[in-house]
Amino acid sequence: MLRYCRSELPAFLTCLRRAVEIESPTNSPADVSRLARFFAKELKRLHGKVKVLRHPTAGSSVWAEFWPEKRPRKSVLVLGHLDTVWDKGTLRRMPFRTRGGRAYGPGILDMKSGLACGLWAIRALRELGISPSTPVRFFFNSDEETASRAFRKQIFAEARRARAVLVLEPAAAGGALKTARKGVGEYRITVYGRAAHAGIEPGAGVNAIAELARLLLRIEQLARPLRGLTLNVGLIQGGTRSNVIPERATAVVDVRVPRKKDGEAIERKVRRLRPVHPEARLEITGGINRPPMDRARALRLFRKARALGRALGMELEEASTGGGSDGNFTAALGIPTLDGLGGVGEGAHALSEHVIISELPRRVALLAALIATL
């Protein structure tokens, strides 16, 4: 398996380059759909039954099925996302390139190398005449980077038909697999005050910015960093000009929760917030949109991957992360889920984003071995 995967590395890199050069920012559905069609074509060439799933506002997702005739019917689900956080045109200042054993480009680590690993794992199994004992299904989602709203139902439905979910997100540092992820939430907090002339009748106004500032200090105190419960006020907007008492101010807060009950506690506390000024009005929308991925769901799969990894000369560690993925959903449904099976590298969402080229054949071989033996 490993020998085959190593011999295929040049072809793999060509495919990876093509995927990186089809830019696919979440906010540009037509571009995400173009990448969907690219992967659909590649999956078809591997004799998969393939569907491109359209959506009225988001880009298309890709669904594929291999070995549908196998019994038992419960599949191995390979999960990935097509979208990236990089705006269209990033390629001009951050082109695909290889240097010093690394391959660079927007979305190459998160997660186009992972998608290519999925493709090549099937190719390896086909070429070596290895047939898994269950059907294998793929779901490449189009809007993971913005909370996976468009195809969430379909992902849930596929997960329920699966015995195990393998997520192609990048590996943690040193190639570690991800066995736990924090839950993710987002709250949009808007304060409505009353506008007035700041000089002529300052007492007639209710300052929404001042009110929001007081609230944010209280919100920051809800964090429990030692327990891993963190908050970030990441965005703030309000006011029109300095001589007008602002009528409206909004903040968006990102929340990360290690356990389900932390999410429930935060939800209760945020909903209980009240304005200090009796005439200010508060509107809170949002909530926890990805439940935590519980390590217990991953352990059996991780042990299996570690044993297979040893046979491939890898010493695989496990890691937990504050970042969410679609694995959060499948684990919360109770389906065994192992994450971080994609490329090994650094700089996801950063200009230095890259994968280590020599690790790619082993990642493909590991994925193929998992698919073949689950």
Task: Name the site residues for Zn ion (rule: CB under 5 A).
Answer: 110-111, 169
16 versus 266: smaller Cβ distance to Zn ion: 16
CB of 351 to Zn ion, least distance (A): 17
Q: Which is nearer to Zn ion, 158 or 169 (CB)?
A: 169
The Cα–Cα gap between 3 and 249 comes to: 60
Helix%, strand%, coil% for the chain, nearest 5: 40, 25, 35
Which C-beta is closer to Zn ion: that of 17 or that of 178? Answer: 178
**Around 100, how many Cα atoms within 13 Å sit in the side-chain half-sphere?**
3
Angstrom distance (rounded) from CA 196 to CA 73:
67
Which C-beta is closer to Zn ion: that of 15 or that of 111? 111
Strands 61-66 and 49-53: antiparallel
Beta bridge mates, 88: none
Q: How far apart are CA 207 and CA 301, in angstroms?
A: 54
First to last CA, the chain: 16
Kindly state the smallest distance separating residue 146's Cβ from Zn ion, in Å. Answer: 12
- On whether the CB atoms of residues 230 and 246 are closer than 8 A, the answer is no
Q: Which residue has the tokens 């020599």?
A: 358
Closer residue to Zn ion in complex, CB, 111/177: 111
What is the closest distance, in whole angstroms, from the C-beta atom of residue 84 to Zn ion in the complex? 8
Among residues 145 and 247, whose Cβ is nearest to Zn ion?
145
CB of 342 to Zn ion, least distance (A): 8
Distances in whole angstroms, Cα of residue 46 to Cα of each of 78, 123, 133, 299:
15, 6, 18, 31
Nearest Cα residue to 232 out of 240, 220, 244: 220
For the bound state, the minimum distance from the C-beta of residue 365 to Zn ion, rounded and expressed in Å, comes to 22
What is the DSSP-derived secondary structure letter of residue 202?
G
How many C-beta atoms surround the C-beta of residue 264 within 10 A? 12
C-beta nearest to Zn ion: residue? 110
Q: Tell me how far, at minimum, the Cβ of 111 lies from Zn ion, in Å.
A: 5
Q: How far is the CB of 79 from Zn ion (least distance, A)?
A: 10
Q: Which is nearer to Zn ion, 224 or 349 (CB)?
A: 349
Nearest to 178 by CA among 21, 54, 317: 317
